[in-house]
Structure formats: structure tokens, C-alpha cells
Amino acid sequence: TIKGAIFRSDHPEPLPYKGQQSAPHGTTVADIILTLAPRVKLFSADVFGTQGGCEVANVIRAMHYCVDVWQCKIVNLSLGVPEHRLQQLAKRLQLLRAVEEAYSKDVLVFAAAHNEHPLTRSYPAVFSPPLFSVDKGLFDNPLDFSYRPHESIEFQAHARGYVGPFAREPATSWATPHLAGIAARLLSLKPDLKPFELKTLLYWIFRAKDQSMTQVKVSEQT
């Protein structure tokens, strides 16, 4: 059973969730997380509606609800607002404060880079220090990822889903829940990890594997 709520800009309070996503996008994201971390307790914050988009204020409301009401340890944001659509400094700061508030409460926020990154940058992924910014990549093993800071984006994860009409098309929306699912598995071993500790752990896991692969290649050449 997945608990959830529907967030609409024309309603001050969240509407009841009836178990049906407003678009296939959320179903693919949920399936990726449950595939990698089947024992998670999943909540659905539906912010898109029938229009396939939402206002920044709606995302902020949903984030506060995830942190304060549901008390989620991980928040997956497979969405982004391009820079040219978030020119208002006040809204940008409000979004940053929501991310920083989650960070201060030891909540791990994963945000998708724009699919055309770095040609197009988007928020909140560019707020990389207090959150996990994720770009798309293709890996043989969906549990693999890479740490390669590039234009404020730190991580790459597997960018294909498993169900849904667009799941096979590589996208940052699918990469982000892959990394979130990996983080959930690590948290199941040590639930009190803070965001910066989890980010450091992911970095060292990638570094150790990268060095191991380099040694294998050198051995093959010799």
C-alpha cells in the first residue's frame, strides 16, 4: 500500500490520494525505487496534475509535507524548473530554503538534472551541496553509479526504467530514483546516516570500484 496526497495550487490543503497517479511518470519512478529497495515505505506526493507540470510553490508545499508530516528520510524529485523559468529571486530562495530545511533535518533530497544538462540547467538540482543532484547515464548494472561533478551535478545513475510508456527512453527522471533506491539500501544498514555522510559513502563506493576497474585494465594490458 502506498500512502499519498495530491497537491494542487488552487487548494490550500492536500487532496486525498486515491491510488492513481495523474501521469505514468510517477508510476515509473515508484517502480524503480521499489525494484531496487523493495522494503521501503513509499509515499506519493502528486504535484503534476493533468497538466503535466506544476508551480514552484506546489513543489515546496509537497516537500514540507514529506518532511514534516510523513517524516520521510528520502525525498525523490524527478522534476526540475529550468533556469529561464525561475528568474524571480524570491521563488528561487524559497526553494533553496526548503532544500536546506530538509538537509537540517537529516532528510536526503535527490533531484534530477535537466535532460539537456549542461546546455540547460534547472532547479533544484543546481543546489548541489545540500542535496544529491543526478544526471543520466547507462550502466550494465542498475546498482552502479558514478561520481563526476559537472556543472553543479555530482552523480550519474542508470537512466532507464522498467514499466511505463517512456521507461526505455534514457532520462534523468529515471536516474534519480535509481540513486535514491541505492541510498535507501544503505540507510537500511545504518538508518542514522546524515546527508553528508551518505554522500561521502557513495563517493567512496564509486572511488573504490573505479580504482578496482583501473587495476583490472592495467593487469589485462600487462
Q: Give residue-wise pLDDT tens across range 106-129.
A: 999 999 999 998 888 899 998 888
pLDDT, residue 210, reads 82
CA dihedral 76→112→202→154, nearest 10 degrees, is: -150
The Cα–Cα gap between 40 and 156 comes to 22
The Cα–Cα gap between 157 and 159 comes to 6
More confident residue, 41 or 21: 41
Please check whether residue 6 is in contact with residue 46, taking contact to mean a CB–CB distance below 8 angstroms. yes
| Mean of per-residue pLDDT scores for the chain | 90
Query: pLDDT band at residue 151, thresholds of 50, 70 and 90?
Result: confident
The Cα–Cα gap between 29 and 75 comes to 12
pLDDT, residue 218, reads 52
Query: pLDDT band at residue 105, thresholds of 50, 70 and 90?
Result: very high
pLDDT over 70, % of the chain: 93
Please give the grid coordinates belonging to residue 212. 578496482
Among 53, 37, 68, 58, which residue's Cα sits nearest to residue 178? 37
Q: In what order do the strands lie in the sheet with 132-137?
A: 74-77, 108-112, 132-137, 153-158, 145-150
pLDDT, residue 216, reads 53
The Cα–Cα gap between 166 and 126 comes to 25
pLDDT digits (tens, 9 = 90+) for 179-207: 999 999 999 999 999 999 999 999 999 99
pLDDT digits (tens, 9 = 90+) for 211-222: 776 655 555 555
Per-residue pLDDT for 152 more than 80? yes
Residue type, 63: M
Please check whether residue 47 is in contact with residue 59, taking contact to mean a CB–CB distance below 8 angstroms. yes
Please check whether residue 201 is in contact with residue 179, taking contact to mean a CB–CB distance below 8 angstroms. no
